Amino acid sequence: MLAQVKNNLAPPQPSLAYEMQLHEQGPPSIHWLGASPWSAAQLLAAAAARVAAPQRDRARDFLNAFLKDGPRNSHEVWDAARKQGHSEITVRRTARKIPVDFRRVFCDGV
């Protein structure tokens, strides 16, 4: 896909779709498929979603396994998440979707 990101001098141009055709002999060639309704922003958002999905899946599996036996304090969750390579923002976003119930617990004498 070929898409315009920015243009200050003319009206927006349509995105163009193409495919690479391999040949037994010689270099590959481009076969143009025509205009596409997808904008650059839509293409980038779709690509970002494909990259983020496996990370969210891993974070969901981690949270489900880590919390299956009951509540844990936040220090335990963050330490274990870091050790398994999860970013804090991914774990937080995933926890909101599962959903995980966050509660502040006050202890006397601590």
Residue by residue, pLDDT tens for the chain (110 residues) are 888 888 889 888 899 999 999 999 999 999 999 999 988 888 888 777 666 678 888 999 999 999 999 888 888 999 999 999 998 888 988 988 888 888 887 776 55
Are residues 62 and 30 located together in one domain of the fold? Answer: no
CB 1 within 8 A of CB 20: no
Rounded-to-integer distance, Cα 53 and Cα 58, Å: 9
Residue 106 identity: F
Would residue 105 count as lying in a domain?
A: no
For residue 62, the tally of other CB atoms under 10 A from its CB is 19
Q: Which residues contact 52 (CB under 8 A, 6 or more apart)?
A: 90
pTM: 0.51
Are residues 56 and 84 located together in one domain of the fold? Answer: yes
For residue 66, the tally of other CB atoms under 10 A from its CB is 15
Are residues 29 and 66 located together in one domain of the fold? Answer: no
Number of domains in the chain: 2
The pLDDT value given to residue 35: 94
The pLDDT value given to residue 110: 54
The pLDDT value given to residue 63: 93
Give the range of the structural domain holding residue 19, as residue numbers without chain letter: 1-38
